[in-house]
């Protein structure tokens, strides 16, 4: 079962944070703090979302040939992922500002201030913005940044345990949460709004008409999630109070819709090996990065768990945000 990290443990700097996340004895934490006095850090909820540790597991990644709107690049293949920590929600605009000292949006984006509410996902950011946030957050918590940025590009040092983006395989594993359903948390279109902010009847009524826009009823889910555009990354009210969104079986919000999410991988073909692939990270180079997950404008075809999007790293969109992850030791739960 996934484990939610406590508010107290996530405030600890440096190795103390790592020890707490891995569930080591309290005596070890006490020894560390006696030996390594630190300055107070802003509460983790201000800087980043709460983290959930997922266990190592094998799963079938991709989609079968009979799935609706399936693309040829969704070939089913066996994957095994190691244990890792995933943020319970997408990084919010306020968390991005707290770490980066600026708004996610800038003069070159098509975002408006209404898309940057404090509790909304940080959108209109480039892939490199997400990488920079992860490195900056690692430094703030006394962790060694995992990304080495040079003129030649970005290299992921997998021996380091700071914050990072999910891999494409980790994203799909987290979204599936041990199921083989088409959409996050649901095999039925009418239930999709329970687990994500997607294109639904409310969104359909408010959708603008114009190039690239559609108002066909068949392109919306036959349900209502209460939002026509971005929603708070974490529901502020329970279903009884009007926000029906639920976490998936792993306790993670937003994988089924709200903002689509940058991940680490370059776009490439899946492995054709008949054996399970261990922690795949995609091609070594490419021109487009992978974006996974549904967003507030996604209909049933686009919201499928297996759907892959290839996006230029410099792209900014009101529909794309990100969430963070951390690697954990093999002995972790």
- Smallest CA-to-CA distance from 306 within 69, 57, 53 is with 69
DSSP secondary structure letters along 293-317: S--TT--TTTT-TT-EEEE-TT---
| Residue 42: pLDDT band with limits 50, 70, 90 | low
Indicate the burial class of 262 (C-beta count within 10 angstroms; 0-12, 13-18, 19 or more).
buried
Mean pLDDT of the chain: 82
Q: Note the pLDDT of residue 4.
A: 53
pLDDT of res. 304: 98
Q: Counting beta carbons within 10 angstroms of the beta carbon of residue 40, is it exposed (0 to 12), middle (13 to 18) or buried (19 or more)? A: exposed
6: confidence class by pLDDT, cuts 50, 70, 90: very low
We report the CATH number of the domain holding residue 143 as 3.90.1580.10
Return d(Cα 150, Cα 307) in angstroms, integer.
Answer: 31
d(CA 291, CA 311) in angstroms, rounded, equals 7
| Residue 18 confidence (pLDDT) | 37
Q: Could you tell me whether strands 277-278 and 77-81 are parallel, antiparallel, or unpaired per DSSP bridges?
A: parallel
Most confident of 28-32, 57-61, 223-227: 57-61
Tokens of 18: 């790592």
239 in a domain, yes or no?
yes
Q: Does a structural domain hold residue 27?
A: no
Residue 278 lies in domain = 49-327
> Would the pLDDT of 330 be above 50?
no
Per residue in 80-113, pLDDT (tens digit) is: 999 999 999 999 999 999 999 998 876 555 676 5
Residue 43 lies in a domain: no
Per-residue pLDDT at 254: 96
How far apart CA 231 and CA 242 sit, in angstroms, is: 12
**Can you give the pLDDT at residue 243?**
65
Cα–Cα dist 93/170, whole Å:
23
Whether residue 17 is contained in a domain is answered as: no
Structure confidence at residue 13 (pLDDT): 37
Q: Are 102 and 140 a contacting pair, CB within 8 Å?
A: no
Q: Is a pLDDT exceeding 90 seen at residue 260? A: yes
Q: How many C-beta atoms lie closer than 10 Å to residue 5's C-beta?
A: 18
Domain for residue 26, yes or no?
Answer: no
Residue 27 pLDDT > 80: no
pLDDT tens by residue, 282-302: 999 999 999 999 999 999 999
The three-state secondary structure class of 116 is helix
Q: What is the pLDDT of residue 112?
A: 64
Asked whether residue 17 carries a pLDDT value surpassing 50, the answer given is no
Is the model's pLDDT at 227 over the cut of 60? yes
Which whole-number Å values give the CA distances from 2 to 55, 173, 197, in the listed order?
7, 13, 23
230 pLDDT more than 60: yes
Angle between helices 26-35 and 14-21 (to 10 degrees): 180
Mean pLDDT along residues 138-147: 95
Average pLDDT of the residues in 173-195: 95
Question: How many folded domains does the chain comprise?
Answer: 1
**CA–CA distance, 74 with 311 (Å, rounded to integer):** 16
**Count of Cβ atoms closer than 10 Å to residue 39 Cβ:** 6
- How many of the other CB atoms lie within 10 Å of CB of 308? 19
Residue 225 located in a structural domain: yes
29 is a domain residue: no
Render pLDDT for 310-326 as a digit per residue (tens, 0 to 9).
Answer: 999 999 999 999 999 99
Q: Rank 145-159, 196-210, 235-249 by mean pLDDT and report only the highest.
A: 145-159
Q: State the pLDDT at residue 31.
A: 31
Does residue 25 lie in a domain region? no
């Amino acid at each position: 079962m996934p484990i939610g990290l406590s508010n107290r443990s996530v405030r600890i700097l440096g190795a103390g944070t790592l020890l707490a996340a891995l569930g080591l004895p309290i005596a070890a934490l006490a020894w560390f703090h006696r030996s390594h006095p630190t300055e107070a850090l802003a509460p983790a909820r201000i800087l980043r979302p709460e983290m959930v540790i997922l266990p190592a597991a094998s799963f079938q990644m991709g989609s079968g040939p009979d799935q609706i709107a399936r693309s040829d690049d969704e070939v089913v293949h066996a994957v095994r992922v190691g244990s890792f920590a995933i943020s319970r929600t997408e990084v919010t605009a306020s968390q991005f500002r707290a770490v980066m000292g600026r708004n996610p949006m800038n003069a070159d984006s098509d975002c408006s201030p209404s898309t940057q509410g404090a509790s909304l996902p940080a959108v209109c950011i480039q892939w490199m913005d997400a990488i920079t946030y992860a490195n900056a957050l690692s430094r703030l918590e006394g962790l060694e940044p995992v990304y080495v940025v040079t003129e030649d590009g970005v290299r992921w040092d997998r021996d380091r345990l700071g914050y990072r983006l999910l891999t494409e395989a980790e994203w799909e594993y987290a979204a599936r949460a041990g199921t083989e359903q088409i959409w996050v948390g649901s095999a039925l279109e009418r239930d999709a709004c329970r687990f994500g902010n997607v294109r639904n009847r409310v969104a359909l009524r408010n959708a603008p008409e114009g190039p690239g826009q559609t108002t066909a009823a068949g392109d919306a889910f036959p349900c209502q999630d209460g939002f026509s555009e971005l929603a708070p990354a974490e529901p502020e009210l329970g279903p009884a109070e009007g926000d029906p969104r639920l976490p998936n079986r792993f306790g993670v919000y937003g994988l089924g819709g709200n903002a689509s999410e940058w991940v680490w991988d370059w776009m490439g073909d899946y492995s054709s090996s008949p054996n399970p692939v261990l922690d795949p990270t995609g091609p070594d180079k490419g021109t487009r990065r992978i974006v996974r997950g549904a967003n507030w404008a996604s209909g049933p075809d686009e919201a499928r768990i297996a759907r892959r999007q290839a996006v230029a790293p410099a792209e900014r969109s009101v529909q794309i945000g990100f969430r963070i992850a951390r690697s954990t030791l093999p002995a972790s739960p």
